[in-house]
Amino acid sequence: MDPASAIGVASGVLSFVEATYKFLSIVYAVYESDQVAGYDELAAATDMVRELSQQMLSDSASTSPGPSVGGISSVANVAQQCHSLAVDLGNRLAKTKAKSRKLGDIVKAAVRTVCSKSDIDRLQRALDSCRSQLHLQLTLDHSNEAKISLARLELANTAFFDTMERTWAKRNQRNILSSLRFESMNDRYTMVSEAADTTFDWIFDNPQKEMKSNLALVRPLKDWLDQGTGIFHVSAKPGAGKSTLMKYLWSNPQTQKKLQSWAGSQPLVMASFFFWKPGSPRQKNQDGLMRSLLHQVLTEHPDAIAELFSEHWDPTCYDPWSEPGPIQLETKEVVVAFGRLLSEPEICNQAKFCFFLDGLDEYEDERRTSQQLVTSLLKWVDLADGRLKLCVSSRELPAFQQYLPVDQRIRLHELTYADIMAVTHQTLEEHPDFQRRQGQQPQECSSLMREIVDKSDGVFLWVTLTLKLVMQSLEDGESTASIRAQVDLLPEELEDFFHSILKSIPKHQRRKAYCSLLYLIYMFRHLVEKRLTSGCVHPNGETEHPHSMLRLSFLDEYLDDERFAHTLGFTPLDEEATLRRIATATAQIQARSRGLLEPWETNGRPVKSKASNDSRSGVKAARAMAVRYSHRSIREFLSRFLDSDFAKPYLVGFDCINAHINNFIALLRRLPFRNTSSIRSISSMKPCAGSIPCISSASTVYAGKCIVPLTWLTKAHPPAQRQSWAIPS
């Protein structure tokens, strides 16, 4: 074959080799993406490889015997394997667009089915052999065309292996990030209410008012963000809106703009952590704090993961056909990594950090005190040598007042008079009856609003609960003068205020109200905080929140008749009945708690409308609507109040565990089963998540005595299925 013909054949082989490398690169990349866009790219690459491999097979068949040109003999081997894979994969991909499931998952499944690890390894070895022969042929040829082709070959080879290595590295990074992340890591942040319109805008619009709250203040918060160093401390009374302020700062674009000015030309990394005492250990201890901060920082700077966790870094174990197990990071590894992150600037490209830490007073660690936490924070700032500053919030407790810098502190409750005035006006003026009264009695209405604001002393929680009482009085038709007299009698201190509103419940309603509150405390404390169950499985296979309104809707029936579950049949609730139950339970919780508990959606949004208006299916609504404390301080107060001599007589004979078991059985009997496999799946769940083990756990707590007859569960199902319902005695 003459040189020109040889170069022509080699060029065709080169195009095929390039296309095959691209095909393999996309196959690897598909494993790393759920985007539908990957479908078109993979389909196009598959078509190209199929066409070129067919051409190569035809060319190899027509080539006369003799010395191979450009590795034609090995090309035939590669072409045969490529053609087989491309045809099979192309046929499978052609069927995916008609599917209704997530397209990205289907594409992944198609690739995984067709392109097994052995197939890809074999193809890659053959391709390497082909590339080596082609490389030799082109090296021996000194023409410009050969040099260009050689460069193209090396580029294709390099690009392919770069893609492979990036893919493996990303999987390794994700595994390490997953080991840092923990369940409920962001729950507290999600639960914190958003600031009302214009609330806290004074931070950026009128920062000088902060100077009035602390004569020692060096600079207001706004100036600290773009000029300051160290730790800025937001202190306040309980219920004054510290968490809402921290969420406002964290999510406000002006905050990032100010901090970027501080960071200058260096990268800026922001992270936050909201301590939550009623939550899991990692939601309130230093280990959880460091894990969360590391997770946020390394999500933005994934290249630092290999340096900080080198003992767990081996991307070669993460090819698409491998399933490495989860990594278990010890606390000491997290401590070392966090220290290096702060002390070694080169790890994150000289980045500057600003961390927002809310609720230091909710910190709880078996081995460390609050004072030691403050000491750690101060050491972190020193360790970072000007690259880290912290904005923290807490109640006015000695550990924080004494050891955090007084010259970088504001007292929030002394700065929110205008905010509380705005919230009070906005809330009341939206009520139709109050609007009417303003037209008829402007002076009295103005005095009422001023009384509420003045008595609040900067505590948003006091205002929120008072406004709920005022709104109820408006709906009851009480006069403006009478409502103001009631407000005047309300205690200003939160603890006394809570006592006052719970004692104001009419005597004939107190048993149900106090029993409901005790039951909810039990649910929070024993089922969530102690993790006897983190959620429960519906008979239809969906997860239900432990404090769902649907489950709580059965409590009223239990309080009327402790044996109510005997009378329930296996009659599924339809959507209308389910939503009606939720609406009733929501109204009861709000009335019986006098606003101390509030309905919310488990995605973090408080419920602002009645459940009956929810357009979702009944089961989905049941999952989404639950109940929570209006404020963390309420949890502490309710525990003390319900243990007081005043409340105890109304709780005689009430058993939280018995109520929980009966309510759970009622829930199981009234929700629809999709199929018998759903029944079996419940019993196979781990004790922390399954519904039947949940009953077993409750029964175990109850001194081994199962109050609920197991026949209630089994009589509606064939004997063959009963074994899966068994509960240990």
Q: What is the pLDDT of residue 68?
A: 45
Position with higher pLDDT, 494 vs 244: 244
Residue 16 pLDDT > 50 = yes
- State the pLDDT at residue 714: 40
In this predicted structure, the answer to whether residue 180 has a pLDDT above a threshold of 80 is yes
Query: Which of the two residues, 54 and 598, has the higher pLDDT score?
Result: 598
Whether residue 28 sits in one domain with residue 11: yes
Cα 460 to Cα 669: distance, rounded to the nearest angstrom? 42
Same domain, 558 and 672: yes
Expressed as residue numbers, the domain containing 437 is 421-490
Q: What is the pLDDT of residue 282?
A: 92
Query: What pLDDT does 155 receive?
Result: 61
Domain count, the chain: 4
Same domain, 157 and 197: no
What angle do helix axes 417-429 and 460-475 make, rounded to 10 degrees?
A: 20
Q: What is the pLDDT of residue 531?
A: 44
Contact 470, 452 (CB under 8 A): yes
β-pairing, 543-544 vs 536-537, is antiparallel
**pLDDT attached to residue 168:** 78
| Amino acid residing at 121 | D
What would the pLDDT profile of 361-394 be if each residue is shown by its tens digit?
Answer: 999 998 889 999 999 999 999 999 999 999 999 9
Q: Which residues contact 575 (CB under 8 A, 6 or more apart)?
A: 617, 618
- CA torsion angle 32 33 39 44 (round to 10): -50
CA–CA separation, 372 and 160 (whole Å):
51
Residue 188: the pLDDT is 87
Q: What CATH number is attached to the domain comprising 261? A: 3.40.50.300
Task: Please check whether residue 555 lies inside any domain of the structure.
Answer: yes
Q: Are residues 456 and 561 in the same domain?
A: no
Do β-strands 268-274 and 409-411 pair in parallel, antiparallel, or remain unpaired? unpaired
pLDDT digits (tens, 9 = 90+) for 508-548: 999 999 999 999 888 877 655 444 333 333 333 333 444 57
Cβ neighbour number for residue 41 with a 10 Å cutoff: 15
Question: For 102-159, how does the pLDDT look when each residue is reduced to its tens digit (9 = 90+)?
Answer: 445 555 555 555 555 555 556 556 656 655 655 555 555 555 555 565 565 566 556 6
Using DSSP, state whether 625 is helix, strand or coil: strand
**Structure confidence at residue 86 (pLDDT):** 60
The pTM for the full model equals 0.71
Predicted confidence at residue 98, as pLDDT, reads 45
pLDDT in tens, 599-652: 776 655 555 444 444 444 445 655 567 787 888 788 888 889 999 999 999 999
Based on the domain organization, do 154 and 199 belong to the same domain? Answer: no
Residue percentage of the chain with pLDDT more than 90: 36
pLDDT at 244: 94
Same domain, 366 and 430: no
SS (H, E, C) 646-693: CCHHHHCCCCHHHHHHHHHHHHHHHCCCCCHHHHHHHHCCCCCCCHHH
Residue 692's pLDDT is 46
Residue 564, Cβ density class (10 Å: 0-12 exposed, 13-18 middle, ≥19 buried): middle
For the segment 466-479, the average pLDDT, to the nearest whole number, is: 92
**Contact yes or no for 233/400 (Cβ under 8 A):** yes
- 219-243 average pLDDT score: 92
Q: What residues are paired with 270 via a beta bridge?
A: 354
Comparing CA positions, the residue from 387, 388, 351, 355 lying closest to residue 267 is: 351
Among 490, 522, 539, which residue terminates a domain?
490
Q: Are residues 121 and 203 in the same domain?
A: no
Answer yes or no: is pLDDT of 726 > 80.
no
Average pLDDT over residues 163-178: 82
Residue bearing the bigger pLDDT, 669 or 342: 342
pLDDT (tens digit per residue) in 234-271: 999 988 999 999 999 999 999 999 999 999 999 999 99
Dihedral angle of Cα 506, 510, 514, 519, to the nearest 10 degrees: -120
Residue 669 domain-assigned?
yes
Higher pLDDT, 570 or 428: 428
